[in-house]
Chains A and B, each alone.
Chain A
Amino acid sequence: MFENGPQMDGFAKYLVRRFFQFFLVIFLGVSLAFLITNLSPVDPVEQSVSLMTSFGATDPRSVELMRSALEELYGLQGTMLDQYLSFWGRVLRGDFGPSLSAFPTPVMSLIMGALPWTIGLLTLALIITWSLGNLLGALAGYYRSNVLLKLSGAAVMALHPVPAYIIGLVLLLAFGFIWPVLPISGGAQMNLQPGFTFDYIRSLILHGTLPALTLVLVGIGSWFISMRSLVSNIVTDDHVVYAELGGVNSSKIFSQYVARNALLPQLTGLALSLGNVFGGAVITEFLFNYPGVGRLLIQGIYRGDYSLVLGVTTMSIISVAVAVFIIDLLYPLIDPRVRLG
């Protein structure tokens, strides 16, 4: 009890500080997103009027009437402050209002429809990228003379600066056209009943392979480079040198003395990278026509649907903030110095 007191105090302070940061990040991020989307020059009412008048015969006398009816229907009256306050009220109730480009479908239901696809894609891609990147990076940092690891390092570093859309396009051509063995569009086979069946799961995996591979190839380089660099420094630390001199098994040194220490900053980086990964997912989903939140966001931007854009942005801000917060909570379990404050 005596020994745990200062530890618990430090941990409590740490928790309170993180809670405060968590809510501040969400408040500022969402407010900024509201401001930016509302300052967008694209007017959803004009977009709808355009859709309703572009294709068929239009009576020019009716356009004013059409415009005023839509403004009322979309609830776009009031000052920006009124809309801001009303927006926060709705956010707290988990409601982003109706989509203006898919009126009157609620934004939340559009997001909830797309979210499982993005979560599935990102989770899979992130786990593979992080694990593989760190494993290869750690091995390359520890076994510095291994030729295969050197080659793999060169390969992932060469891919690192290439934008996601270039890698995606190359994969699309390679596996969709030159060797057409993988689907290049969509989330699953057409007309296949969703469910926990072998056919459907296989279809999901096949359709997700190229988008996930794109994200993996784009993301793996940064984990590889940073991990290799960390491990290269740690292997010269005293405790590693003493362990080697003491005859400790090299695989034990690698896993217990080196990799474990090097993982700490990588874990923080994992949370912080979520935002970047989401950015890459937007392009990848668009390229492979993957029905996730990224594609939804692009549709919203092009249609001037700021309810939808704001909804997606808010959800991504909250998701990243929650992920960072969870990592922050896990951190003391890995690094006792955090518990001690």
Chain B
Amino acid sequence: MLFKKLAAAALAIAAMAMPVAAQDFIAGIPRNEALIIQGPAAQNAEWFNLWAPGGGATTNGNQQLTADTLWWINPEGTGDAAWTNALAADKPVYNDDFTQMTVTLKEGIFWSDGVEFTADDVKYTVDTQIAHPGMGWSAPFTVNVESVEVPDRNTVVFNLKAPNSRFHTLFTVRWNAAWIMPKHVFETVDDPLTYAANPPVSLSAYVLHSYDTAGNWVIWKLRDDWQRTSIGQGLTEAPQVKYVVYRNAGNPDARVIEQMNHNLDVINDIAPEGMFTIARDAADSTAYWFPGFPFAHPDPTLPSVLFNHQVEPFNNKDVRWALALMIDIRSVAMGSYRGAANLAALSTPPTGSAITDYYQPMQEWLVNYEVNTGTRTIKPYDPTTAEQIAALVKPQWGDQIPSDPTQLKAMFGEGWWKQDLAAAAELLQKAGFTKNGNQWMKPDGTPFTIKLMVEGDAIPTLARAGTIIAQQWSMEGIQTTVDVAGPTNGQRLGGGDYEAAIYWTVETWGGHPDLSFFLESYHSDFIKPAGEVQPPRNLTRWQDERLDQIIEANRTVGFDDPKVVELGMDYLKLAVEEMPFIPLMAYNKFAPFDTTYWTGYPSAANPYAASGPNWSNLRYMIVALEANPNAPAAQ
């Protein structure tokens, strides 16, 4: 009897559950008017102040859809097309010694509450943040800005404390930038640091519609006056996406399931296995960066083997080169991304404009580059790695793998270093190491062992890469253990509390050849002693006079000066010679798009916007999407 009752209860629950499939996925909003994007689980869902600490890193659509600033760079773009004048009418104008920057603003742009955007908003943004230490861009403004003048409502003049040819980059969105504050709103509040800005006043094409107080979703709605925004002024027709839903779709497995159930149009990142499942089971309703394998879109970020130069023997370039030549990159590509990796031999991510500005022009130099092992000279570069990896993945992916070498290089990278164990041994001997059995001994007679730090589950592909490299080094006589840092990873990297690590210390604009985005922080002025926290990006604490000279020269030329590329190549050649870290690959992200309701997503063939939903640049994708005429009818 009891079991009959239990069975009856279970059936009743199941019956109650059945209608869920027929229910509106979002109450009151037609599914075919909404684009659903993977978002975060917000702790403080009612907080929309972008200028408070950490506010500029929100990925719930607030900065992606309501914020705006002077300029944008498409991280996937190339040439002039990658640059967008947003609130600014033109590019920044500097005086001769880069101590003053003048900006002319566009007209006819309004905040969502009907107040016109003017130069006063820009001046207020800078002055207010300088007056309130702790606000997001307070520190860089305080360090750089002497004063801001507003000669008329469309012109802003920044007087700088010292020459800075890259000051405008503080207002240039790559992932984010200093967003302009609504003066008329913030000047009425007591403390801009504790003001929730709920609802936020929008300067872009969408406004807040509703949100979950439990932090699982936020819905944004197209502004009625979307034309009166910088993005709207560039459109001839109204965006078809009326609602944008940022929803936390849970763990990576749940994200895959939700996309295959058509409840999640845009995924930020999933593991390769999840990507391959979607490609196998939902290929008809999914779009990818590449039309087939390797699917992933490369972020302008460069996962590498980092060495702490303040720890011996990693301050020796022969040791670093030896460790590079012990790596079989094909195994790393297969083990980490199951082959779907875009390899990088140069110390800049192989994405956006870097391919045509650096990778392709430097191929001949790389092929002819020589390393002196102490006993002979070798040419370590292998321009055929793409073909080799293609051969490894072809049995699984068949016709999706082309035979054209140019296409293969676009998919798998231009080339990498040949594994050369004999040369690696010679380099270690050159550095004073000896071999005892199969164990390499340091010049002081102690065993050469390495702790290789990885973040862990947060980035499984890089953790796998670290494990494989550790195995390869161990097999060659350098006992290497993998050290999983978990949430302490960033802090340990910044504090120099590691020997070697798999992470990135180079990020670029992606859509522009200027390398100052990371290179400025590589100047020796910013190197900290061991134990102190390093400013972001030079995590290896690499120090070199020749590097300082390149950085100082880059400061004296304008952002768009052709010399920028020359200086970039000088840096890249120096980095090959010194191998301060071993570049591995682009940070490939698997970000599949569901095409059931929307089409026209960006791709490698048409990279008009960034792919990952965390990038603010995604706003250009959202207004460009087209409704799928074959979508299921609205319920």
Residues of A within 8 A of B (CB): 41-43, 46-63, 65-70, 72-73, 99, 101-105, 110, 113-114, 117, 135, 139, 148, 152, 169, 172-173, 175-177, 180-194, 199, 202, 205-206, 209, 286-289, 291, 295-296, 299-304, 308
Contact = CB atoms under 8 A, between A and B. Distances in A.
Contact of B257 (A42, A51, A62, A173): A173
Contact of A176 (B57, B261, B526): B261
Contacts of A202: 16
Nearest to B45: A113
A107 B245 CA distance: 27
Interface centre among B28, B57, B170, B537 (most CB of A within 10 A): B57
Nearest to B15: A181
Interface string B512-528: 00001100110100100
Nearest to B2: A139
Contact of B143 (A48, A62, A68, A175): A62
A53 B214 contact: no
A70 B28 CA distance: 42
B139 A62 contact: yes
A73 B3 CA distance: 60
A142 to B, nearest CB: 13
Interface in B169-223: 169-170, 172-178, 193-194, 210, 212-217, 219
A57 B491 contact: no
Interface stretch (B19-27, B96-104, B311-319, B585-593): B19-27
B635 to A, nearest CB: 13
6 interchain residue pairs of minimum CB distance: A291-B214, A69-B133, A62-B139, A55-B175, A57-B169, A102-B44
Contacts of A192: 27
Interface string B50-64: 001110110000000
Interface stretch (B85-93, B247-255, B436-444): B247-255
A43 B491 contact: yes
Residue with the highest number of chain B CB atoms closer than 10 Å, among A55, A63, A194, A304: A55
A46 B212 CA distance: 29
Contacts of A101: 43, 54
B432 interface: no
B630 interface: no
Nearest to B492: A41
Interface in B1-39: 2-3, 13-14, 16-18, 20-21, 23-29
Interface residues of B, number: 85
A135 B247 CA distance: 40
B186 to A, nearest CB: 16
Contact of B490 (A50, A68, A72, A185): A50
Given A48-B53, A59-B520, A190-B27, A289 B140 contact: no
Contacts of B134: 69-70, 72-73
B216 A187 contact: yes
A265 B26 CA distance: 47
Contacts, number: 241
B47 interface: yes
B279 interface: no
Contacts of B174: 55-57
B44 A105 contact: yes
Given A47-B490, A176-B261, A301-B487, A104 B193 contact: yes
B144 interface: yes
A157 B495 CA distance: 48
Residue among A46, A52, A169, A192 with max Cβ neighbours from chain B (10 Å): A52
A303 B7 CA distance: 44
B250 A289 contact: yes
A190 B36 CA distance: 11
Nearest to A301: B487
A209 B456 CA distance: 31
A191 B244 CA distance: 12
A318 B452 CA distance: 41
B250 A185 contact: yes
A55 B176 contact: yes
B53 A177 contact: no
Centre residue among B261, B488, B491 by max chain A CB count within 10 A: B491
B536 A185 contact: no
Contacts of A54: 57, 536
Contacts of A193: 27
A47 B53 contact: no
B589 to A, nearest CB: 15
A206 B43 contact: no
A209 B13 CA distance: 9
A58 to B, nearest CB: 6
B139 A304 contact: no
B41 interface: yes
A264 B26 CA distance: 47
Contact of A65 (B28, B142, B261): B142
A210 to B, nearest CB: 10
A207 to B, nearest CB: 9
B248 A99 contact: no
Contact of B535 (A41, A60, A296, A302): A60
B2 to A, nearest CB: 7
B217 A56 contact: no
Nearest to B175: A55
Contact of B249 (A135, A148, A289): A289
- Among A69, A148, A173, A190: residue with most chain B CB under 10 A: A190
Instruction: Name which of A49, A58, A105, A148 has the most chain B CB atoms within 10 A of its CB.
Output: A58
A41 B57 contact: no
Contacts of B21: 180-181
A177 B263 CA distance: 12
Contacts of B492: 41
A46 B495 CA distance: 10
B257 A291 contact: no
A57 B172 contact: yes
27 contacts: A41-B491, A46-B533, A47-B491, A56-B170, A60-B526, A62-B142, A63-B139, A65-B133, A69-B134, A69-B139, A102-B43, A104-B52, A105-B44, A152-B3, A173-B257, A177-B261, A181-B21, A182-B20, A185-B216, A186-B217, A190-B26, A199-B27, A288-B250, A289-B41, A289-B249, A304-B487, A304-B491
